[in-house]
Amino acid sequence: MKIEAEEIPPNVSNFVKSLRDVGYTFEIAVADILDNCISANASNISIYTAPIPQHIFCMLDDGSGMSEYELVEAMRLATQNPEEERDSKDLGRFGLGLKTASFSQCKKLTVITSKDKSISLRQWDLDYIAIENKWMLIKPPLDDFKDIPLFQELQALEHGTLVVWQKIDRYTEEGFSSLIDKLRSHLSLVFHRFLEGENNFSRLKVKINNNPVKAFNPFNQNHAATLKKPDEKINIYKFPINITPFILPHHSKMSQQEWDKYATEEGYIKSQGFYLYRANRLLIHGTWWGLHKASDAHKLVRIRIDIPNNQDELWGIDIKKSKASPLPEIKKDLRRIIGEATILGSRPYTGRARKIKDKSIIRFWNLVPKNEIMHFGINRNHPIYKQLSKNLSETESYLLETYLKSLEAYLPIESIQAELQKNPHDINQDNALTLEEINDLADKLRNTGLDSEYIDRLLKTELFKDRKELFENE
């Protein structure tokens, strides 16, 4: 049967406007461009960006470069079939990254490339496309770019590529300037394995405005207190997935500076969870994919997932490479791994919490059950409390008991938790009672004529544990 059909080309001007709103942030867009540099086997990448005299962004790499034909194909939208098998180091997929990432940030994209002693360039100008209402790829004069940042450096290379964004129209001057620190932080995390030279490939060097980008490994692997569980390999439809849980050190094992560094700008609560790497490049981080609730008890748990570049459909990776949703078959294994990792991850906190239940020490606070609910209560069997209360009048005893119950009722647990989460190194309860005050108390108690049984009980308290010498006869 003959099918009646006619070609209805899209309104290119309107389509371009929609294409610009894919949802890239500045740093994610730049990372997408940098992917192409790595795929081209670049060893050195230079980024220049400035808000004045006009917003401009340039990225130069010393990769393999492109011939004129290869450049035109690279500028074509959807130049590659996403289902085609790729080189294991290729970080692309749709053949859209260069264009969509660039269009999300600017209206004019120019690519200048050098290969075999020949320089080629092509340009997309969205304003020009809107006027023509056609996908017209411009071949501008090379002389127009001789004063563009990094152009002279490109000419000095045997091969390489320079990407230029002009007509950057989505930021104020002040807003554009503030993006640089965020970009540096993002690249240092997303490409940390390349910057470290991990997995037997050459170390990548990246500079932003001539300042090197340093790798940030989110797992703090070199710290002696970091717990790394053995790698676990699972297979889904014969595709290999490598999973490695890490438990970061408790704040007591780290300096304030190091603790803050590994908290990242997101903080420990939001940074816990899975870190998905595709061909060594970090795609997603700080998510449980709805399989587990983020909690303070598990804030030190970070689980690395390594996949090759042929599993995008299994993980639902989007065009920006910033979102993913694994298949249900994968989630089953992930739930099990979460359970095992979070048990380990909560030990630095549950271990400390168990101390209050240690019956070998007489503590000031106890966990008190009441109507199937627990609360923290002051220990009325503490020897100092007993010594204090036995000589009180009925009114004084009533006032003391009311005061202690009020103290228990209004214990600011939420504030304590918040401060411990935000500034754990700034809180030290030991400072509330000095060693001089403890020695003075021991003197006063000793002078009241204590019997040996009472002294034995005092030496089991938190206050005088390991301070037996304070009650020895001089």
Compute CA distances 141 → 65, 138, 158, 161, whole Å.
19, 10, 21, 17
- Three-state SS for 115? strand
Distance of alpha carbon 133 from alpha carbon 151, whole angstroms: 31
User: What domain range is 150 assigned to?
Assistant: 12-212
- 100 and 240 inside one domain: no
* Residue 219 is assigned to a structural domain of this protein: no
Of 351, 385, 420, the residue that ends a domain is 351
The 10s digit of each residue's pLDDT in 314-332 is 888 877 777 888 988 899 9
Distance of alpha carbon 399 from alpha carbon 408, whole angstroms: 14
Q: Averaged over 11-40, what is the pLDDT? A: 87
The 10s digit of each residue's pLDDT in 240-273 is 999 999 999 998 899 989 999 999 989 999 999 9
- 73 and 144 inside one domain: yes
Radius of gyration of the chain (CA): 32
Contact 209, 47 (CB under 8 A): yes
- Is the confidence at residue 61, as pLDDT, over 90? yes
- 189 and 77 inside one domain: yes
- 160 and 24 inside one domain: yes
* Residue 217 is assigned to a structural domain of this protein: no
Distance of alpha carbon 413 from alpha carbon 362, whole angstroms: 22
- 175 and 233 inside one domain: no
**Residue 89 — very low, low, confident or very high, per pLDDT cuts 50/70/90?**
low
Residue with tokens 């009441």: 370
- 325 and 255 inside one domain: yes
Contact 471, 446 (CB under 8 A): yes
* Residue 85 is assigned to a structural domain of this protein: yes
Q: Averaged over 135-147, what is the pLDDT? A: 94
Q: Averaged over 349-377, what is the pLDDT? A: 74
What value does the mean pLDDT of the chain take?
A: 86
Report the predicted TM-score, pTM, of the whole model to 2 decimal places.
Answer: 0.78
* Residue 55 is assigned to a structural domain of this protein: yes
**Residue 390 — very low, low, confident or very high, per pLDDT cuts 50/70/90?**
confident
**Residue 82 — very low, low, confident or very high, per pLDDT cuts 50/70/90?**
very low
The 10s digit of each residue's pLDDT in 167-224 is 998 877 777 777 888 999 999 999 999 999 876 677 899 999 999 999 999 999 999 9
- 254 and 196 inside one domain: no
Is the omega angle on the peptide bond into residue 53 within 30 degrees of 0, that is, cis?
Answer: yes
Of 317, 351, 385, the residue that ends a domain is 351
- 403 and 347 inside one domain: no
- 182 and 292 inside one domain: no
CATH of the domain at 341: 3.30.230
- 367 and 410 inside one domain: yes
pLDDT value of position 80: 55
How many domains, the chain? Answer: 3
* Residue 2 is assigned to a structural domain of this protein: no
pLDDT value of position 230: 92
Residue with tokens 């020949």: 118
- 69 and 191 inside one domain: yes
* Residue 220 is assigned to a structural domain of this protein: no
pLDDT value of position 48: 95
* Residue 218 is assigned to a structural domain of this protein: no
Please give the sequence-ordered ranges of beta strands (E in DSSP) within 348-455, or none if there are none.
Answer: 365-370, 373-378
**Residue 5 — very low, low, confident or very high, per pLDDT cuts 50/70/90?**
confident
Contact 322, 283 (CB under 8 A): yes
**Residue 408 — very low, low, confident or very high, per pLDDT cuts 50/70/90?**
confident
Q: Averaged over 392-407, what is the pLDDT? A: 89
The answer to whether the Cα torsion of 96, 101, 102, 103 is positive or negative is: positive
Q: Which two tokens stand for residue 270?
A: 């939001």
- 71 and 200 inside one domain: yes
* Range from 102-106, 136-140, 265-269, 371-375 carrying the lowest mean pLDDT: 371-375
Of 351, 372, 399, the residue that ends a domain is 351
* Residue 126 is assigned to a structural domain of this protein: yes
- Is the confidence at residue 38, as pLDDT, over 80? yes
Greater confidence (274 vs 427) lies with: 274
For the chain, the farthest-separated pair of C-alpha atoms sits apart, in whole angstroms, at: 113
